[in-house]
Structure 1
Amino acid sequence: MSFLIVVAALVFLMIAAYRGYSVILFAPIAALAAVLLTEPAAVAPVFSGIFMEKMVSFVKLYFPVFLLGALFGKVIEMSAFAASIVAAAIRYIGRSRANLVIVTVCALLTYGGVSVFVVVFAVYPFAAELYRQSNIPKRLMPGAIALGSFSFTMDSLPGTPQIQNIIPTTFFKTTGWAAPALGIIGSVFIVAVGLTYLEWRRRSVMATGEGYGTVLANEPQHVAADALPSPILAILPLLLVGIANFLFTKWIPVWYGTSYTVAPEILPGLHAPVTTPVKTVTGIWAVEASLLLGIALVIVAAFRRVAAGFAEGSKIAAAGALLAAMNTASEYGFGGVIAALPGFVVISDALKSIPDPLVNAAVSVSTLAGITGSASGGMSIALGAISDLLIRNAQTAQIPMEVLHRVVAMASGGMDTLPHNGAVITLLAVTGLTHRQSYREIFAVTLIKTLAVFFVIAVFYTTRIV
């Protein structure tokens, strides 16, 4: 019975998310309903002592990353740098390679720190124009955007500033550059297999005579390519964020040591010293600092364009960051409650029966990411519940924490893109398409991402490369 309660809570939250209801509201409802069915008297204490504690701890650590990432993406959009990058990619790669162009542009933006949600809005007008001129069916477009935005640059490539690559740093005391060789190998696998599939689909569909389409929704207006900034200037902020992230990751431990204490002698208003273990926040601080530099560069380089709408744009970015962070934090609180229930012990015992720590991590994170429809949410739930077990098992098997980090990050971006995933719903809404029209290609990318995790695990055990 206890196991069924946990399953029912997870299914309820999944259905609520699929139907479009707020996870911020329904995650605590699902969690507390499970507690009510288990021990009614514990509902209020669990809400205050577990759910809210977990939720607040997540916001404390990660909200600045969400906020700065959203603001960086917004100024990239407002400055027309995103439009310039897309136009340059079309010019130099060629319109005949539409899928490669879209994947390349999405990859540049997401690896540069732009939120996957922002990338969808920024790339869609140009992707639509490219598909229209090439007479490629529009319904195939979401698969290419998903491959470029939701896969290798989100969690596989070392150094990516996306939140899916940052969350494991606080659990495993690693950095965003963990296991660079494995990350690159996994990324090559995803890109090669993904582009092969998308090209096969394009040829197959176009061979039937199907074209771009006629009766379509949300068709963007033609985007004028004149008066765009130089693509070299446009890409500089993205390069700056990546390079600065790498350098800050190296420099911060040198500057602060293993821990840093702010004593009352420095800030007289403190009643007791405040000590920060630097290793647990190095990855977060590095991303925050690099995004700040990127934002500053965009504002300086395109001051007139950005200044005109910065007040309104920053509000939109802050609102989007708050919603995204609170959604994930609410799922994190949900996971904390579920992990405390008797039924979760059954699940934990089942996961413990998987002897290999890397396969254990991959299956656990992929399963929960799929159930919640969120890579960061599923990863947070899994790591909040079993990270200690994963660490112990990995140490026993002499597996570096960097490898565990990369496997967990990649696994979070596997089955997360099931139909109820927020990014998938946003992508289809923006492109004016439906699940029935376009989800087949997105699901194929989902399967490829999941296979890539086990491919990377096999490569590590075969070569011991990190």
Structure 2
Amino acid sequence: MSHLIILILSLSTIMILAYRGYSTIITAPIISLITLFLTFGLDSHLMANYTLVYMDGFAGFVKNYFPLFLTGAIFAKLMEETGYAHAIAHFITKWIQPKRAILAVVLSGALLTYGGVSLFVVAFVLYPIATLLFKEADIPKRLIPGTIALGAFTFTMTALPGSPEIQNVIPMTYFKTDTFASPIIGLIASILMFTLGMIYLNFRAKSAHKNHEGYGFNEEMKSKTSSKKPSIWLAISPIVIIFTLNLFFSKVYYPNVDGTYLESFNTTLDSMSGTWSVIISIAIAILFILLLNIKKIKNLQSILDTGVKNSFIPLLNSSAIVGYGSIIKTLPIFLGIQTMILNLSPNPIIAEALSVNIICGLTASASGDLGITLNALAPTFLQMSEPLGITPEILHRIASLSSGGLDTLPHNGAVITTLAIFGLTHKQAYKDIFVTSVVIPIFVTFLMVLGTSLIFV
């Protein structure tokens, strides 16, 4: 019981400090070490755990995602400087109307994530577009992170059949399914998440308007290279390039490449090709923008430097949280919680939903802890499901849906990254992220679990 109290206090402290605006780069390692000390006492080998466990998790995230953060930040800066983002925003405003800025950003985020673009990159790509749209519509800037969360962190991440996001890919390994598993459940869940999220965000925007609250920031987001806007076809071409090339590399090229050489690196092509596809696609899109605008861009060095700087803080904040998660996973209570949750219900659908959601919530990581939970419990879920006629496809979809609830608590890496990109604090903008990416997905998952249980159990 004391270990559980320590874990709750640890999680509560890091969430409260994140909400109050304290950098996780500082708080995460300190709270990790305090948690170890309170759990194991003087035998916790604090420095060994800090340098070998915490920093391994921290460095592992940097190793895996630094290229994505870097290319994503540079791409976003170039989209702003060339006027492409402004042209897209102007086009959307013209045809969808300014009052539909929320819908435009949600659909843009959904398109990018369904195209396979990493959640961490989506915020960078949408930054200049969303800022311009919300400013033109005079909608508070604090609503942008919640809007991006609805489009990128919810239905396209866990529910929409065929999504290439890792949260929809991981269950395939354990249930021998594909990304289109249980399409009916996935489609219903997607429609519900989208609809409820839009109702909430539009309500928030109308409430702000009634209170005479507008965009609220005075920054200028105009093209700095030309007073004439590029054509919409030229402006969207870099995004089309990312979408098309990512689809080509991930679905056509790499599946036909012999990846046995990676065995010497203790990895597989399947685990690396998704990241490689996105990095290559963004890099080519960056080159495309540079080649078309090389004569117009007078401050290329400054643009690249700004892009690099913009990538650092979000990357380090996210890495700090991953390091914290690495420490939490070493605690004895972590495995005990998994076992306890499994014993809460003989219904495999309920047991799976609870275990995945809560374990993901402990370290605020949907992908990492989804793998941990299914690695330990998937065979049990399959065994429990067989007499009830519950298919592996249903288990796949429920597992994926469940990973997208408690994962986006205040200390989640994608949440911290998105807020840092837009220069907002948890106090200013997390409430809307919480509703769109925690409350609504959990409610929808509950409905899917309830409906499926009534049919099979």
Shift in alpha-carbon separation, 1:360–1:88, aligned structure 2, 3 A: farther
Are residues 1:57 and 2:49 paired?
no
Identity level (%): 32
AA of the residue aligned to 1:227 = K
In the alignment, what sits opposite 1:129?
Answer: 136
- Residues 441-456 of structure 1 correspond to what in structure 2 (within 5 A)? 441-446=432-437, 447-455=439-447
CA distance in 2, matches of 1:329, 1:404: 30
Aligned residue for 1:115, secondary structure, equals helix
CA distance in 2, matches of 1:158, 1:298: 32
Equivalent of 2:94 in 67, 70, 91? 91
The TM-score with structure 1 as length reference comes to 0.75
Shift in alpha-carbon separation, 1:393–1:315, aligned structure 2, 3 A: farther
AA of the residue aligned to 1:27 = A
Matched-pair contact (CA < 8 Å) for 1:368–1:381: no
Matched-pair contact (CA < 8 Å) for 1:95–1:130: yes
Q: Offset of 1:199 from its aligned partner? A: 4.1
In the alignment, what sits opposite 1:28?
Answer: 29
Q: Offset of 1:52 from its aligned partner? A: 2.5
Q: Offset of 1:84 from its aligned partner? A: 1.2
Shift in alpha-carbon separation, 1:148–1:262, aligned structure 2, 3 A: closer
CA distance in 2, matches of 1:186, 1:144: 18
Q: Offset of 1:91 from its aligned partner? A: 0.8
Matched-pair contact (CA < 8 Å) for 1:104–1:148: yes
Are residues 1:5 and 2:3 paired?
no
Q: Offset of 1:10 from its aligned partner? A: 1.6
Unpaired segments of 5 or more residues in structure 1? 264-272
Matched-pair contact (CA < 8 Å) for 2:189–2:444: yes
In the alignment, what sits opposite 2:272?
Answer: 281
Matched-pair contact (CA < 8 Å) for 1:109–1:119: no
Q: Offset of 1:453 from its aligned partner? A: 3.6
In the alignment, what sits opposite 2:260?
Answer: 260
Shift in alpha-carbon separation, 1:2–1:428, aligned structure 2, 3 A: closer
Matched-pair contact (CA < 8 Å) for 2:57–2:323: yes
In the alignment, what sits opposite 2:80?
Answer: 77
Unpaired segments of 5 or more residues in structure 2? none
In the alignment, what sits opposite 2:340?
Answer: 350
In the alignment, what sits opposite 2:239?
Answer: 238
Matched-pair contact (CA < 8 Å) for 1:86–1:126: yes
CA distance in 2, matches of 1:254, 1:137: 44
CA distance in 1, matches of 2:317, 2:143: 29
Shift in alpha-carbon separation, 1:304–1:402, aligned structure 2, 3 A: farther
Are residues 1:294 and 2:285 paired?
yes
Q: Offset of 1:123 from its aligned partner? A: 1.9
Q: Offset of 1:158 from its aligned partner? A: 6.4
Q: Offset of 1:88 from its aligned partner? A: 0.6
CA distance in 2, matches of 1:345, 1:243: 42
Matched-pair contact (CA < 8 Å) for 2:102–2:202: yes
CA distance in 2, matches of 1:277, 1:430: 32
CA distance in 2, matches of 1:58, 1:425: 14
In the alignment, what sits opposite 1:317?
Answer: 307
CA distance in 2, matches of 1:429, 1:261: 38
AA of the residue aligned to 1:449 = P
In the alignment, what sits opposite 2:122?
Answer: 115
* Cα offsets for 1:15-52 (capped at 9, x unmatched): 22222222123222212212212142322332233222
Matched-pair contact (CA < 8 Å) for 1:117–1:423: no
- Residues 209-228 of structure 1 correspond to what in structure 2 (within 5 A)? 210-212=211-213, 217-220=216-219, 227-228=228-229
Q: Offset of 1:115 from its aligned partner? A: 3.2
- Residues 425-464 of structure 1 correspond to what in structure 2 (within 5 A)? 441-446=432-437, 447-455=439-447
Aligned residue for 1:21, secondary structure, equals coil
AA of the residue aligned to 1:450 = I
CA distance in 1, matches of 2:110, 2:32: 36
- Give the superposed CA RMSD: 4.2
| Range with bigger deviation, 410-419 or 433-442 | 433-442
Aligned residue for 2:261, secondary structure, equals strand
